């Protein structure tokens, strides 16, 4: 079983749009909307450490998978897509998070 403190060391990226984040969110995630990729894509390695565990989240796991794959091409070694996104997380782990 993984030590629950792993999340304190991890980098957390949410690629949903601001209006989606306003409906449901998880603490600790940096909001980097995929639609604004052009503004943050070129500086991602300035803000995040490619050697650290990096978790990427969206609504259902599709956009986050795209970003996770792209991060790997940028030298990120330990990238994890939150499969099923915040929707699955709300259903399986925390029903207090609204679904939309």
Domain map (residue ranges) of the chain: 37-100
pLDDT at 8: 74
CA distance 19 to 71: 24
pLDDT at 7: 63
Among all residues, which ones are annotated catalytic? 58
HSE-up (13 A, CA, CB side) for residue 92: 8
pLDDT at 6: 57
9, pLDDT greater than 90: no
Q: Which CATH architecture has domain 37-100?
A: 3-Layer(aba) Sandwich (3.40)
Q: Name the β-bridge partners of 81.
A: 56
1, pLDDT greater than 50: no
pLDDT at 58: 99
92, pLDDT greater than 90: yes
Among residues 100, 82, 83, 99, which one has the least CA distance to residue 91? 99
pLDDT digits (tens, 9 = 90+) for 67-86: 999 999 999 999 999 999 99
Cα–Cα distances in angstroms (integers) from residue 52 to residues 13, 46, 56, 57, 90, in the given order: 13, 13, 13, 16, 25
Q: What is the pTM of this model?
A: 0.91
pLDDT digits (tens, 9 = 90+) for 47-62: 999 999 999 999 999 9
């Amino acid at each position: 079983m993984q030590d629950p403190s792993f999340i304190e060391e991890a980098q957390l990226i949410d690629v949903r749009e601001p209006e989606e984040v306003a409906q449901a969110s998880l603490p600790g995630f940096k909001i980097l909307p995929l639609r604004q990729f052009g503004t943050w894509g070129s500086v991602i390695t300035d803000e995040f450490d490619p050697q650290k565990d990096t978790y990427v989240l969206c609504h259902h796991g599709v956009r986050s998978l795209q970003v996770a794959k792209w991060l790997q091409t940028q030298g990120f070694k330990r990238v994890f897509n939150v499969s099923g996104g915040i929707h699955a997380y709300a259903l399986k782990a925390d029903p207090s998070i609204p679904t939309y």
